Structure formats: C-alpha cells, structure tokens
C-alpha cells in the first residue's frame, strides 16, 4: 500500500534534531527505553486477555526479542504484546502530543548549554522524566522503522523516519501481533567497539544492567552471517542452530522477581533499576521497603519512596502500586492498595491467594486487599519515623517534597492518625532551620503550659512576623509554624496529642503561664478594662459592621492592634483555600484586639477622653482596624478609603 508522508510538529522536530545530534556519552539508555516499552506492551496484553475472553490474541509465549545484524548494521527490538492501532501510532509516536515535551526540550537545551548533557545521570533523568524514551533511539540510529499490529485487529501499521522532520505511515496487511522497532545504526557507533550495538556482549551488558529483573524473557538472537563461517568473524557469540543457520535465541535476563529474592542476593542498583522501570522516574529512590507476610494470607511487597514528586502528584495521574498474583501482573496501578495520602509510593505487591481475573469492584470489597492496604500504610509510616531518627538528611529531603501529602492522612485515615503524627514533623520557632515532632514539642513545654500552640500562614516569614507571635516570643513559648494549605484543615481534625490540645494563637483569648501568673494577668486586665472602657465602647460602635467585638489584647507587645478569630470560627487562610476550591463559607466577623501598652492606643484613649466629639478622631477607628488587617496579610474592606484616611492623617501630622 502507498505510504503517506507527514511532517513532525514543531516541538517534535526540535526534539528529534537534538536527539540525532545528541552529545550524550551514555547512549545505552536507548535500549533500556525500548525494552521497557516492550515489557509494558506485554503486561498490557496479559491484563487485557484476563479481562476480555473474546480477545483474539496469542499469549502462549509472550517475550521480547532483540536481534542484532552486523552485516546490515541493524538492531531490532520486537515483542508480541498488545501492539498499536494506526490512530495510536499517529497519536503516540508521530506527533509527540504529550504534555511536558516542551519542558523536556527546554531542559535538554539548558543541559547542553551548561555542558551537563554529557553526564550519563543527566541523560537518564531527562529522557525518563518526560516519557520520550522512544525518541532516544535516534541517538544511535539514522533511521527507525516501527511495525505494529494491535491484538485483535487485522491490519498493522508501519512508521518510518530518519528524524529529519518527516515520517511516513503505511498500512501492512500481514504484520504480526505486537511491535518491532528496527534501528539502522549510525556507522560511527558500529565502528566504535564501546558503542557497537550489533555486538551480543554489548546487548547482554545493557540488559543485565537495566532490565535483568523484567518478568518476560528477553531473547537475544544474531542474524545469520552472510557467507560461510570463515568470513563470519566474531558474529557468533550465541550457539548456532542445528542447521548451522540462524543461532538459537539466548535468554539474557534472569527474570528473577527481586521482591522474592533474599535481601543479601540483591544489590541496591538492582532495586533502583526496578524502581525506575515501574515508576518512569530515572532518579534513584530515597528508600526501599521490603515486606514479607506469612500465615493464612501470604504476600510479598517491595515499595519505594521517591526522591522527588511526580508532576501529577496533585492531579489525576499515575498512582498506585503494581499488583501481581503468583508472579503474574494483573494490575499496573492498583490504587486500592495504598491510601490517597501515600499515592507517591511506587512498588510491587505479589499476593498468593487472589483471583487472576480480579476486578476493581471486587478489589474495593476484598478483605485481603484491605488487610494489605492497612499493613502497607503502617509499614511506610513506621519507615518514615525510623528515617527521621536514623537518616535525618534523607527524611528532611523526603518531608520537604511529600510532607504536605502525608498530612492529608490526618483528615481521611483516622485509624492511622497517631502513626501519621509520629511520622510527621513541623517547622517551629524552636529551630530556625530544622523541624520538630509533636513528641519533641511536648517534651520542651514550659511549666504550666497546657496547649500545643501553632499559627498557620502562607510562609514562614509571614508567620514569624505576625503580631500574634509577639507575646509568645517574649515569654519563650514555642509555636509550630504551619504553612501548607492542608494545615488549615487537619489542625481542626486532630483534637489533641498526648492529652495536649492544639490551639491556634490567632484564635480565642491568649493564656500563658502557671495558674498564679494567669490570676495576676487577669487582675491587671480587669483594671485596664475599666481604664479603657470608653475607648473600647467607641471603637466597637464605630466598627460594628466590621468586627464582632473589640477587646484588650494579652498577645501583643509591639504592634498596636491585631484581629483574631473566635474559638470556633474559620481562619482567613481556610476561607481562602475553600474559596479557591469553589466553596463559599458565610463570613464570620472577627475580633479586634488593641494593645493597651502601645503609644498609639494610649494616645487615642487620651484624645477620645478629652475630645470625644472631635471629628478628626472619626477615621482613627478604621485606621487601627485596617492596620491590624494589613499586619496579618489581609486587606481593609475599602482599601481606597483606608488610603485616603491615612493620607489625610499624615498630612495633618505634617
């Protein structure tokens, strides 16, 4: 049939041009990517065949084959997996329509300009991170041909490109099920022994390094050399067939499930490659977690804590772990095995007694699945707690990236709430750089302190400069600094820790010290209330539409005023977060607190007592309230009026 020629989109052309002219020294990653794609195709066919009995597909001998041909200077990677339809070829191979490609190109260009592109780790991270592994073939090939047929369909598709701006697509009637990728290798690579991808030893080396753990057999076969054996040279690393022609395939991967092997027999590098294979993240994981459960229900698990969050961490992307039953993959992303707040965890769970054709509906109700889910969550949380003590640098790196997600569990996993709190850490006024646990906070509490104090805000600097912190700082009382959006919510869902209630210093009355100190302060406050009764009443009247009450403050030492929420009211941060999610809450008036020791407030009290009808004082109530709002990062109700009043007051003072 006639082949049609298409042009690559702009981003695809830029990407291919960079791949073709790549200066990466570690070109071996292209084979890892092609083998990984082939493995995914076999996994998908196995799952599809389990779900659809009518699927016309041969699954009797699923495998990956790598064929080298030194004479033709080609390398072929083929599988008999799910294959692709013409539409999938156009959408996935021909156009690079996936999100993130533009960012990949930008980062690749930056790496080349910075001279980092030759770094193998840089190459692996960039290629794997953005899911453009197929195109890495152009680092070693001057032409790539893909032949594929989707299982259950009659016609196949051939895609061919030299990576120079165009590609051709044509229909093929007799294409085998699955996908084959033929690379016509660049002459300079086949001439360099270190990059001779037609040499069987080189293929074995790459497969052993990157793909030894893959479940499916990876078979290496050499094309029969031209001429007789005398001029075949070193072409025959594998044994020849009985007829003296094409050698018999050689399985070059061990296919051993790493999670089933003793820890002493598996290297960290092997664990890391498994993680990279299943997560498509080409940086090493921070932590590897092994679980082996025996008894009435047996299963094994190998979980990984990543070093960096995926781009879709807060959106609907890939999540869940791979679910195997007796070494057979039945679900690539089993969300039911990990709670949502651990959605970043990657890994493998291999159960012994589940049905091979288990569905998501059955999973949600299956008792064994629920038992495994609880056990996996507890193990991850206990590992985090242990990391904080034994490997604090790793823990700090993890918590910086994933702490906000873990704290979601305080809202939706009450059964594990204590374990989540034990694994969590928080910024605090105790340490300007590090974090603290609630247990450590409680151990440092002062005599007479009944509550665990905290303050939420958009950033550490905003919280530390808040007027609410003044008296707590002066009295040396530690305050937790909570700056993640989820902090606005979970603090209300966690009533106490070890009998100590969590209390926001921006809510309710501020109470400090021992009972004797509280009694002294209460008596002093009563005296001041009598002294300031007239001013408080006047301010309350002037601001009646804006505030719930006006009272003297025991939390201010420097600022003239602040606004606080009543004990049961929502904070402004929570309101803003809910508003951003499209949820509106009825507005609660807040309380204005004034500092009886501040010169502005004492001067205002004197002026009001001496000249209660002075029109020049009328705007002062609004100015005091507006300044209090600004001090906590808010805005006056009428910013234009506030600005005008302030300008008039400044003009009068001059």
| Residue 425 in tokens | 């850490």
Alpha-carbon distance 3 to 455, whole Å? Answer: 66
Architecture field, domain 258-394: 2-Layer Sandwich (3.30)
Closest CA to 152 of 48, 241, 8, 79: 48
CATH of 4-227+246-251, picked from 3.30.565.10, 3.30.450.30, 3.90.190.20, 3.40.50.720, is 3.30.565.10
Q: What is the pLDDT of residues 61-113, one digit of tens each?
A: 999 999 999 999 999 999 999 999 998 888 777 555 444 455 556 665 666 56
Report yes or no: 458 and 375 within 8 Å, Cβ to Cβ. Answer: no
pLDDT at 180: 97
pLDDT at 605 over 90: yes
Beta strands per DSSP E along 70-120: 74-79
Q: How many CB atoms lie within 10 A of CB 8?
A: 20
The set of residues, in sequence order, having a beta carbon less than 8 Å from that of 301 and lying 6+ positions away, is 259, 289, 290, 291, 292, 293, 321, 347, 348, 349, 350, 372, 376, 379
SS3 category, 220: strand
Residues forming a β-bridge with 76: 67, 182
Dihedral of the alpha carbons of 431, 433, 439, 440, in degrees to the nearest 10: -40
pLDDT at 417: 95
Share of the chain above pLDDT 70, in %: 84
- Match 């004197």 to its residue by tokens: 606
* DSSP string of 300-315, one letter each residue: EEEEEE-SS--TTTTS
pLDDT at 122: 45
Question: Where along the chain do its domains lie?
Answer: 4-227+246-251, 258-394, 526-565+586-653
Find the distance separating the first CA and the last CA of the chain, reported in whole Å.
90
Closest CA to 625 of 652, 593, 586, 595: 593
| Residue 151 in tokens | 């299982």
Q: What is the pLDDT of residues 578-596, one digit of tens each?
A: 766 677 766 778 999 999 9
Alpha-carbon distance 590 to 531, whole Å? Answer: 23
Q: What is the pLDDT of residues 491-535, one digit of tens each?
A: 988 989 999 999 999 988 877 766 777 788 888 888 888 999 999
Closest CA to 102 of 177, 40, 11, 28: 11
CA 140 to chain centroid, in Å, comes to: 32
Alpha-carbon distance 356 to 331, whole Å? Answer: 10
pLDDT at 240 over 70: no
| Residue 596 in tokens | 């009886």
User: What pTM was computed for the model?
Assistant: 0.73
Report yes or no: 429 and 473 within 8 Å, Cβ to Cβ. Answer: yes
pLDDT at 130: 38
Look at the domain 526-565+586-653 and name its fold.
1.20.120
pLDDT at 24 over 60: no
Q: Which of residues 163 and 152 earns the better pLDDT score?
A: 152
Q: What is the pLDDT of residues 165-201, one digit of tens each?
A: 788 999 999 899 999 999 999 987 666 677 889 999 9
Chain-wide mean pLDDT for the chain? 84
Q: What is the pLDDT of residues 64-74, one digit of tens each?
A: 999 999 999 99
Q: What are phi and psi of 290, to 5 degrees?
A: -105, 140
pLDDT at 466 over 90: yes
SS3 category, 171: strand
Alpha-carbon distance 243 to 32, whole Å? Answer: 32
pLDDT at 458 over 60: yes
Report yes or no: 307 and 285 within 8 Å, Cβ to Cβ. Answer: yes
Angle at 187 between CA 3 and CA 145, to 5 degrees: 25
As a three-state string, the secondary structure of 332-392 is EEEHHHCCHHHCCCEEEEEECCCCCCCCHHHHHHCHHHHHHHHHHHHHHHHHHHHHHHHCH
| Residue 604 in tokens | 């205002």
| Residue 140 in tokens | 């070693």
Alpha-carbon distance 4 to 159, whole Å? Answer: 10
The set of residues, in sequence order, having a beta carbon less than 8 Å from that of 363 and lying 6+ positions away, is 331, 334, 336, 369
pLDDT at 2: 76
Alpha-carbon distance 232 to 228, whole Å? Answer: 6
Beta strands per DSSP E along 252-294: 287-293
Q: Poorest-confidence range of 114-128, 173-187, 389-403?
A: 114-128
The set of residues, in sequence order, having a beta carbon less than 8 Å from that of 433 and lying 6+ positions away, is none
Q: How many CB atoms lie within 10 A of CB 25?
A: 13
Alpha-carbon distance 549 to 551, whole Å? Answer: 7
pLDDT at 211: 86
């Amino acid at each position: 049939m006639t082949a049609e020629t298409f042009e690559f989109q702009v981003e695809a052309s830029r990407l291919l041009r960079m791949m073709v002219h790549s200066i990466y020294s570690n070109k071996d990653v292209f084979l890892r990517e092609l083998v990984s794609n082939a493995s995914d195709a076999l996994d998908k066919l196995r799952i599809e065949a389990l779900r659809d009995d009518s699927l016309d597909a041969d699954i009797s001998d699923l495998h990956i084959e790598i064929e080298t041909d030194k004479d033709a200077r080609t390398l072929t990677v083929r599988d008999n997996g799910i294959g692709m339809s013409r539409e999938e070829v156009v959408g996935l191979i021909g156009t690079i329509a996936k999100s993130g490609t533009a960012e990949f190109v930008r980062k690749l260009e930056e790496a080349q300009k910075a001279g980092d592109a030759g770094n193998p780790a840089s190459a692996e991270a960039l290629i794997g991170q953005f899911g453009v592994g197929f195109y890495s073939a152009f680092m070693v090939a001057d032409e790539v041909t893909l032949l594929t047929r989707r299982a259950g369909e009659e016609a196949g598709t051939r895609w061919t490109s030299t990576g120079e701006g165009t590609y051709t697509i044509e229909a093929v009637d007799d294409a085998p099920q699955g996908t084959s990728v033929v690379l016509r290798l660049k002459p300079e690579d086949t001439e360099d022994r270190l990059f001779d991808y037609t040499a069987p030893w080189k293929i074995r080396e790459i497969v052993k390094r990157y793909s030894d753990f893959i479940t499916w057999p990876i078979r290496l076969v050499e094309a029969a050399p031209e001429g007789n054996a005398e001029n075949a040279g070193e072409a025959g690393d594998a044994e020849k067939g009985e007829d003296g022609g094409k050698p018999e395939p050689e399985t070059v991967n061990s296919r051993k499930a790493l999670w089933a092997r003793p820890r002493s027999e598996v290297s960290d590098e092997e664990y890391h490659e498994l993680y990279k294979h299943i997560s498509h993240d080409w940086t090493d994981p921070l932590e590897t977690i092994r679980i082996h459960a025996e008894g009435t229900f047996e299963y094994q698990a190998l979980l990984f804590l990543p070093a960096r969050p995926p781009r879709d961490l807060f959106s609907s992307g890939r999540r869940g772990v791979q679910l195997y039953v007796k070494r057979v993959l039945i679900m690539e992303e089993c969300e039911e095995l990990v709670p949502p707040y651990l959605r970043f965890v990657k890994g493998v769970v291999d159960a012994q007694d589940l049905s091979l054709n288990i569905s998501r509906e059955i999973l949600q109700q299956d008792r064994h699945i629920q038992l495994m889910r609880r056990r996996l969550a507890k193990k991850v949380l206990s590992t985090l707690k242990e990391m904080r003590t034994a490997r604090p640098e790793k823990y700090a790196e993890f918590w910086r990236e994933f702490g906000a997600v873990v704290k979601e569990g305080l809202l939706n996993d009450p059964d594990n709430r204590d374990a989540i709190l034990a694994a969590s850490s928080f910024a605090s006024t105790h340490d300007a750089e590090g974090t603290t646990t609630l247990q450590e906070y409680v151990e440092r509490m002062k005599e007479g302190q009944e509550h665990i104090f905290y303050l939420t805000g958009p950033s550490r600097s905003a919280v530390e400069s808040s007027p609410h912190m003044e008296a707590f700082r002066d009295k040396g009382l530690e305050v937790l600094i909570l700056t993640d959006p989820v902090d606005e919510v979970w603090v209300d869902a966690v009533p106490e820790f070890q009998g100590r209630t969590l209390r926001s210093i921006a809510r309710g009355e501020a109470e400090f010290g021992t009972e004797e100190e509280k009694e002294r302060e209460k008596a002093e406050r009563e005296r001041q209330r009598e002294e300031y009764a007239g001013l408080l009443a006047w301010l309350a009247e002037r601001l009646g539409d804006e505030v719930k009450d006006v009272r003297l403050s025991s939390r201010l030492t420097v600022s003239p005023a602040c606004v606080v929420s009543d004990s049961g009211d929502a904070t402004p941060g929570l309101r803003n977060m809910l508003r951003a999610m499209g949820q509106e809450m009825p507005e609660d008036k807040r309380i204005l607190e004034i500092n009886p020791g501040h010169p502005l407030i004492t001067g205002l009290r004197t002026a009001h007592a001496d000249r209660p009808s002075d029109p020049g004082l009328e705007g002062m109530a609004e100015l005091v309230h507006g300044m209090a709002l600004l001090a906590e990062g808010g805005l006056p109700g009428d910013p234009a009026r506030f600005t005008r009043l302030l300008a008039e007051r400044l003009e009068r003072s001059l």
